[in-house]
Structure formats: C-alpha cells, structure tokens
Amino acid sequence: MTSAAGNGEEPRALRASDAERERAVVVLQEHCVAGRITVEELGDRVARSYEARTRADLARITADLPSASQAGAGRGPARSMRQRRDRRPVLPGHAPFSERFQVSKPRARVRAEALSTIAPSLHGYGYELRSFTAEMLEFMLEERPAWTIVAAVLAFPFGLLCLLHKRRSRVVLSFEEGADRGTLLTVYGVAPLSVRRAFSELRP
C-alpha cells in the first residue's frame, strides 16, 4: 500500500502552524476589503482561522473564495506576509482589521487590563462596550455618516428619512488561554485608521 505522502499528496490531518493561520487571516482581510465577504463574515472566519487545528480546517474557511492568483489577476506581485505585517495601516476611513498578540499573563489579568486601558481609549472614539464574558469583550460604534445630513438638507423633507441611517462598526477582543499560563489576545473588527494604527503599534 502506498501512503498519501508517497503519492505526493498532503495528509488532510496535517497540523497548521501559527504562521499559516496568520496568512489565512491576511487573505481574509484582503477579500473583505475587496467586498467578497462582509465584516461580520470576516470576524467569524478570523476566529475560526485562529481556532483551526489542521491545514484542511484552514482550507475549508476559504474554500468559497478565489485563490491569490485568481483574485490578483492584473495586479503587481503580492507582498510577502512579513512586508504586510511590518507596514502600519494606511487605508483611510473605517476598514476591517485584525491583530494577534501573545501575552505572558493569565487571561483574567489580561482581560482586566483591557477593561482599564483599551476600553477607555475605544470609548474616546465613540465605541461602547456592548457585551463581555471571560473570553470576549465586544465594542460597538454607531454613527450617522455625513452624507445623510447632506441628503436631509438637499432632499427636504423626504431626505429626513436618511437621518435614520446609522453606520455600525464592531471591535472584538478575544482572550484564549495559551501555553505556560499565558494568553492569546486577538483583536478584530472594523475601525478608523487611528484605532487600527494604535493596535498595530502594540506589535512586538
């Protein structure tokens, strides 16, 4: 009997590495920016990517999305993962993002510090804490886009209906117990450039 490895086939149960999970997250972010998946789908798939045990698990998360060669037809050479991660966010306005940090502190302490430091900062940008558990903090921002005010003035009185529209952005902090009593802190969601840059500055 010939093994799968002997046939040149990769075993589906082959374990995924942290680097492979990070690459999957970067790919998902690009698909979200391109409009192929929604922000809600991005958050769900990012969480599943970090929880993936095998390469097959990661493959299933992006099975309905085009490959890099298909999605990037006509674009220049793709940047390496290191180049992507080393660059500070530059996309203006509200955009999806995700960051992951290994913290050498217990989960309860990391969560408490996030509530005392990160939560007030997000509140300054208009984000309100909507839900919290031992594993997650969820912040939500609701704001009225500038175009709704313009439409209300130009199309008065029917344009006043535009004022009912609000843009909702979510930022989630996820806490997972890591090795040696440490914590894996994952931050993802949609935020303005200043918030995304602030989180990127926390990278080691």
Residues 33, 96: contact at Cβ < 8 Å? yes
- 120 vs 78: which has the higher pLDDT: 120
Q: What pLDDT score was predicted for residue 149?
A: 61
Question: Mean pLDDT over residues 68-78, rounded?
Answer: 51
- Return the CATH number at 166: 3.30.310.220
Q: What pLDDT score was predicted for residue 92?
A: 75
Note whether 101 and 141 are same-domain residues: yes
Note whether 108 and 8 are same-domain residues: no
Question: Which of 87, 103, 133 is where one domain is finished?
Answer: 87
Q: What pLDDT score was predicted for residue 138?
A: 92
pLDDT greater than 60 at residue 53: yes
Q: What pLDDT score was predicted for residue 161?
A: 62
Q: What pLDDT score was predicted for residue 77?
A: 41
Q: What pLDDT score was predicted for residue 148?
A: 57
Question: What tokens does 192 get?
Answer: 């303005």
Residue 169's identity, in one-letter code, is S
Note whether 196 and 102 are same-domain residues: yes
DSSP H or E stretch at residue 27 = helix 18-33
Residue with tokens 């890099």: 68
Q: What pLDDT score was predicted for residue 129?
A: 92
Note whether 130 and 33 are same-domain residues: no
Note whether 138 and 189 are same-domain residues: yes
Question: Which of 39, 65, 87 is where one domain is finished?
Answer: 87
In a 10 Å sphere around its CB, with 0-12 CB exposed, 13-18 middle and 19+ buried, how is residue 137 labelled?
buried
Q: What pLDDT score was predicted for residue 159?
A: 59
* Model confidence pLDDT, tens digit, residues 134-189: 889 999 988 666 655 666 567 676 656 655 555 678 899 999 887 778 898 999 88
According to DSSP, residue 179 is labeled: G
* Structural domain boundaries enclosing 67: 1-87
Note whether 168 and 116 are same-domain residues: yes
* Model confidence pLDDT, tens digit, residues 77-107: 444 444 444 556 667 777 888 888 888 889 9
pLDDT greater than 90 at residue 201: no
Mean of pLDDT over the chain: 76
Note whether 47 and 82 are same-domain residues: yes
Note whether 45 and 144 are same-domain residues: no
Residue 144's identity, in one-letter code, is R
Q: What pLDDT score was predicted for residue 30?
A: 79
Note whether 22 and 55 are same-domain residues: yes
Note whether 60 and 154 are same-domain residues: no
Question: Which of 87, 108, 133 is where one domain is finished?
Answer: 87
**Sign for the pseudo-dihedral over CA of 196, 198, 201, 204:** negative
Question: Mean pLDDT over residues 114-126, rounded?
Answer: 89
What's the predicted TM-score (pTM) here? 0.55
Total domains present in the chain: 2
* Model confidence pLDDT, tens digit, residues 8-35: 545 557 898 888 887 888 888 778 767 7
Q: What pLDDT score was predicted for residue 98?
A: 86
Note whether 124 and 75 are same-domain residues: no
